[in-house]
Structure 1
Amino acid sequence: MTPEDITALFTRSDGSYLFARWGRPIAPIVFGVEDATLQVVKGACEAVVALAGHKMAETDPELGANLMFFFFRDWAELLDVPDLGRMIEGLTPLVDRLQAADANQYRVFRFDADGAVKACFVFLRMDAAMSAIPAEELALGQVAQSVLLWSDTAFSARSPLAVAGGKVILRPEIAGVIAAGYDPVMPAVAQDPSHALRLFARMSAAGA
């Protein structure tokens, strides 16, 4: 990847650069799936968190769980989830917008006082297109998009995943960005595009 490629991954549609990684251990929970799929999602979390060199936890002391996956058939179902409206400000108008857009996925991030990620809510409406994706592929893609605050356009043209040897994996360059972003010498939050040059340097040093 070039520095420009990396910059684009964190440059939002309004032109601003914003990078943020998790500032606390990730404690995932999954709603709306069978036990087998639950294990697939948690396995994807473990794999991506290990790649990042970050940590997982059974619980978050403030939130209980801080990476929440919701699988459902209709956006309106979110309005019936206990306490979700308290955790996500403006839930009703958000649901209205997602319904109007016929969206099948959405992520909401929450941040701590320093700007690092402290929670992420992943909403997956299982329409025909989403239901056709194998569970392992769906889980890996969603976890990869939740482990960093990517640009809202980062993966609009190309998935973070690839196929190697008949197996779905993270694209090597995306895995390299994740690992570089969690390097201890790197900041947890950055708003200056020069940060992308530092990511590039870390990736080059690691041979990514």
Structure 2
Amino acid sequence: MIDDVAPLFTRADGAYVFARWGRPIVPVVFGVDEASLAVFKGAIEAVVTLANHQMAETDPELGANLMIFFCQDWDELPEVPHLDALVPDLIPLVRKLKAADANQYRIFRFDEAGAIRACFVFLRMDEHMAAVAADTLALSQAVQSILLWSDTAFDAQPPLALIDGNAVLRPEVADVVRAAYDPVMPAAAQDASHALRLAARLGMIRHG
């Protein structure tokens, strides 16, 4: 089981880095219609409930701390008011995203204890992204924002599966989320021994 868990939080450079949210999540979504907004908020609430974490109406520090931005072109991001204050290296980031022809990017911010305090999600609606159903896209982004996963965690297999045409969270991924938010687990870790503890909690979830 340790072989299943450790790669989810082991980055491409070999570093083990884990973090979960240390405060209630307050989402806001920019650039979508009301119907899509409701789908995203519903997906986030479902994943937060799965984690046995909390949501709130406002964050005392940022107002909202999970910010999702939709755009048609990366050049739109520098035009978003005050975004450069939240993302100081915004212009170099836009150049990087354009050069990579990326269609999504996430930035996490952390508190003094290493727990997640904010997450900024940027989605460019290219033809591939536009072909994804709103509920699938929303659930995928919600689960990828609930933990600091490795940058390679879902390269081999995405976090979602299709059952009867509906996108659902893969059971093994859902179990990891639940185990990661167990109150006995730390909010952040940078030692691979954390994966051993996480695997033990997973065993209790699956057999308890």
Identify the TM-score tier after normalising by the shorter chain.
over 0.9
What does residue 120 of structure 1 align with? Answer: 119
What does residue 131 of structure 2 align with? Answer: 132
Percent identical pairs in the alignment equals 63
Correspondences of 1:39-78 after superposition (within 5 Å): 39-78=38-77
Count of residue correspondences: 207
Distance 2:93 2:172 in 1: 33
SS at match of 1:65: coil
* Long gaps (5+) in structure 2: none
What does residue 20 of structure 2 align with? Answer: 21
Following superposition, the deviation at residue 167 of structure 1 comes to: 1.9
What does residue 201 of structure 1 align with? Answer: 200
Following superposition, the deviation at residue 164 of structure 1 comes to: 2.3
Following superposition, the deviation at residue 89 of structure 1 comes to: 2.0
TM-score calculated relative to the size of structure 2: 0.98
Residue identity matched to 2:23: R
What does residue 148 of structure 2 align with? Answer: 149
Cα RMSD after superposing both structures: 0.8
SS at match of 1:207: helix
Residue identity matched to 2:56: A
* Long gaps (5+) in structure 1: none
What does residue 34 of structure 1 align with? Answer: 33
Distance 1:166 1:33 in 2: 24
SS at match of 1:96: helix
What does residue 178 of structure 1 align with? Answer: 177
TM-score calculated relative to the size of structure 1: 0.98
Distance 1:198 1:152 in 2: 21
Distance 1:200 1:115 in 2: 21
Following superposition, the deviation at residue 161 of structure 1 comes to: 0.2
After superposing on structure 2, the runs of 4+ consecutive aligned residues of structure 1 that deviate more than 3 Å are none
Distance 2:30 2:42 in 1: 15
Distance 2:50 2:196 in 1: 21
